[in-house]
Structure 1
Amino acid sequence: MKVLVLNAGSSSLKFSLTDTTQDRHLVRGLVERIGEPDSRLKLDGVAYDVRARDHGEALGAVLGRLDLEGLEAVGHRVVHGGDFTTSSLITDEVLQRLEAFVPLAPLHNPANIAGIRAALAALPELPQVAVFDTAFHQTMPERAWRYALPRELADRHRYRRYGFHGTSHRYVAHRLAERMGRPIEELRLVVLHLGNGASASAVLRGKSVDTSMGFTPLEGLVMGTRSGDVDPGLVLELCRRYGPDETSRILNRESGLQGLTGHADLRDLHAAIAAGDEASRRALEVYTYRIKKYVGAYAAAMGGLDGLAFTAGVGENDAEVRARVLEGLEFLGLELDAEANARGGPRLTRPGSATEAWVIPTDEELAIAKDTERVLREA
């Protein structure tokens, strides 16, 4: 099936034209600076100046440069799917439900919805499917998703742990099982999606049973600019001192590695460490310690561990981060092959290691395209 995959951000539109029969992308690109006079379309390494006052014009610029012959469907990334447990064919009712979830993801869902409406207007004859970042984690048991808040209050306002990066976690977990040559239904896996945003998941027999992000993508691991886990009492103190809006900005945009060192990018952090910067060295310890702690917690939650996957920009490319995370986890059967890790794997553990660790490149666009195909075939 030939699927147009759209990932609409507040000022950007990522896209791919994907052939699910061959598991390959025919073309990939991005429109950036939507709403600004200097909007740009990047397509196969070439940049074009385009008019993109809104997502509709951005999509028009994309469609005008793509070969749409044989296009059968459109798949949309939606960050917050609320209580959707699986991807869904987009209908008026589904759109209404997505609008109701906007308060749960005010930075992401309005843009996702804008992209959906633009595609429905431009390609009304094609079926369109919403693929939710949160859906994979809807299999978490209540003990993992429920916060210890007053029950009536939490249920009324949907205050619970949702988890994110679910499309990536699901895709990578299945690829890890294939690499290990074992059915996913018999495996206990941890997936580490490490990019500027970062999350860990515990995948038991193919289902997510816990994940590090919660009600928002702020909870969990230390990230590029997000704090990850902090004491709620500290959040209250920040709100008292600076107000809620400034507190949100501090925690989401000025914390994480950026807050610790002034560098949100691990490549800059490594360069600073090489230059002798002590704060950067300590920050890397904080960053990798938090990841390691989650691996151990999830192994305990699942009663053991069979496989571990590193994915996304940092996970796929940063050998030192991988080595620091795996160091000391030999008790879980993870015996690092230093030479394999230095060359990027794909297998990171020694032959005969009781637990396997791999580098598994993620491909969320392909996962969205294949889920779109699945939904339409089932419909």
Structure 2
Amino acid sequence: MKKIFVINLGSTSTKIAYFENDQCIYKENLIHPAEEIKKYETIWEQFDLRKAALDEFMQTHSIVVSELDAIVSRGGHTEPLSSGTYRITEKMLAQSRSMKYGNHVTDLGLQLAAAYAKEGPVPFTVDTSCTDEFEPLARYSGLKEIERVSRFHALNHKAVARKYASEQNKSYEEMNLVVCHMGGGTSVAAHKHGRMIDGDYGLEGDGPFSTDRACGLPVGALIDLCYSNQYTYKEMKRKVKGLGGLMSYVGETDVKKVEKAAMEGNHECKEALKAMCYQTAKEIAAMASVMNGDVDAILITGGIANSKFLMSEIERRVKFIAPVILYPGEFEMESLGVNTYKALIGINEIKEL
């Protein structure tokens, strides 16, 4: 029997699971209040906070690190990779720590996995956010010095797309899909015949604003703000990634709380939510255009897909393109656990950076 510990860090969540072979035995999703996360200027400062949550889970379920076969984390930022199951190596950790390729709390997940691996289990990651299948035209930004890169929720995108294809008795490789992940961050991508040929890099300013990310800001106004002498470089980075989106408009990242306030008559909260959906719908339509409108389905996943109000706001704007199918929550934990198990028993290739 293979024992596998799964780590999935989100902007405002710590998701944890324990697998025996390909079966999930225990699972938990810890939500961190916005006030708690705001205390930390960088994701690296959250190491003790996140590790305490993992340690408590292990203690509660009598999980011993030295008895684990593997520990797997949702992947962070490195040079572009092909999709697959990767062993976490020092080279991967170094690239992740450098922040050269991006920075997200998933980078901290790699460090946590490596820390636990010192006690025995093999550290892995699967379908990292740096999975790159872009077509050449998708890389143009409008400035020769800046190239658009493939950086988004590749793990859940791939898992949901394959799940939908299987339900249709088709292969992922024969379908055209627009997949939208809405959680702590939002990402939308065009999946053409099994490849993610375009997608938005929300961490660095692409796409619709989300719970705490400003994303597609007017560039001229952003430049003016950067040179206004009101904010330092670090403060501006934090302002657009961590203090942007819903946090900027209503001071909260928990969509359930914001929606509750909206339903109770808070106009500011309702308008902010509708604006977030408006921008998300525009991005879905943009990705449909990448495939000339030839789209089999629009798949919306992530925690926010549980909201009937928000999903109705998006669906009414994009249902003319293709059927809208909801997959509330995420399938990342299953994908991490099962793919790691397959790697341990030789079904999946174990890759290295």
Superposed pair shares fold, TM > 0.5: yes
**Identity among equivalent pairs (%):** 21
1:349 maps to: none
Q: Tell whether the 8 Å contact from 2:70 to 2:122 is kept in structure 1 after alignment.
A: yes
1:176 maps to: 164
The amino acid across from 2:173 in the alignment is: E
1:16 maps to: 17
1:314 maps to: 304
Structure 2 residue 75 is matched with structure 1 residue 78: yes
Kindly report which structure 2 residues correspond to 1:214-225, keeping only aligned pairs within 5 A, or say none: 216=203, 218-225=205-212
Kindly report which structure 2 residues correspond to 1:25-44, keeping only aligned pairs within 5 A, or say none: 25-29=24-28
Q: Tell whether the 8 Å contact from 2:178 to 2:188 is kept in structure 1 after alignment.
A: yes
Question: Secondary structure of 1:305's match?
Answer: coil
Structure 2 residue 220 is matched with structure 1 residue 230: no
Question: Secondary structure of 1:331's match?
Answer: coil
Deviation at 1:193, TM superposition (A): 1.0
Q: Tell whether the 8 Å contact from 1:8 to 1:115 is kept in structure 2 after alignment.
A: no
Kindly report which structure 2 residues correspond to 1:105-254, keeping only aligned pairs within 5 A, or say none: 105-108=102-105, 111-123=108-120, 126-136=121-131, 138-151=132-145, 154=146, 160-213=148-201, 216=203, 218-241=205-228, 242-243=230-231, 244-254=233-243
CA distance in 1, matches of 2:123, 2:295: 38
Number of aligned positions between the proteins: 326
The amino acid across from 1:134 in the alignment is: S
Question: Secondary structure of 2:142's match?
Answer: coil
Deviation at 1:8, TM superposition (A): 5.7
CA distance in 1, matches of 2:267, 2:11: 36
Structure 2: stretches of 5+ with no match in the other structure: 33-46
The amino acid across from 2:5 in the alignment is: L
Q: Tell whether the 8 Å contact from 1:17 to 1:26 is kept in structure 2 after alignment.
A: yes
Change (3 A) 1:221 1:374: farther
Deviation at 1:310, TM superposition (A): 1.7
Deviation at 1:250, TM superposition (A): 2.2
Deviation at 1:319, TM superposition (A): 1.0
2:261 maps to: 272
CA distance in 2, matches of 1:141, 1:161: 11
Question: Secondary structure of 2:217's match?
Answer: coil
Question: Secondary structure of 2:69's match?
Answer: strand
CA distance in 2, matches of 1:202, 1:184: 13
Q: Tell whether the 8 Å contact from 2:9 to 2:15 is kept in structure 1 after alignment.
A: yes
CA distance in 2, matches of 1:329, 1:139: 25
Q: Tell whether the 8 Å contact from 2:274 to 2:310 is kept in structure 1 after alignment.
A: no
Higher RCO structure, 1 or 2 (CA under 8 Å, sep 6+): 2
Q: Tell whether the 8 Å contact from 1:226 to 1:253 is kept in structure 2 after alignment.
A: yes
Q: Tell whether the 8 Å contact from 1:7 to 1:13 is kept in structure 2 after alignment.
A: yes
Change (3 A) 1:372 1:60: same
Superposition RMSD in Å:
3.2
Q: Tell whether the 8 Å contact from 1:78 to 1:132 is kept in structure 2 after alignment.
A: yes
1:68-105 Cα shifts (integer Å, max 9, x gaps): 797432212222132222331233444444444x3333
1:92-128 Cα shifts (integer Å, max 9, x gaps): 444444444x3333453652343133122111xx332
1:256 maps to: 245
1:279-311 Cα shifts (integer Å, max 9, x gaps): 333223311111111121111111221111121
Change (3 A) 1:283 1:145: same
The amino acid across from 2:326 in the alignment is: W
1:5 maps to: 6
Q: Tell whether the 8 Å contact from 1:20 to 1:366 is kept in structure 2 after alignment.
A: no
Structure 1: stretches of 5+ with no match in the other structure: 34-51, 334-354
Change (3 A) 1:306 1:114: same
Q: Tell whether the 8 Å contact from 1:82 to 1:134 is kept in structure 2 after alignment.
A: no
CA distance in 2, matches of 1:257, 1:374: 39
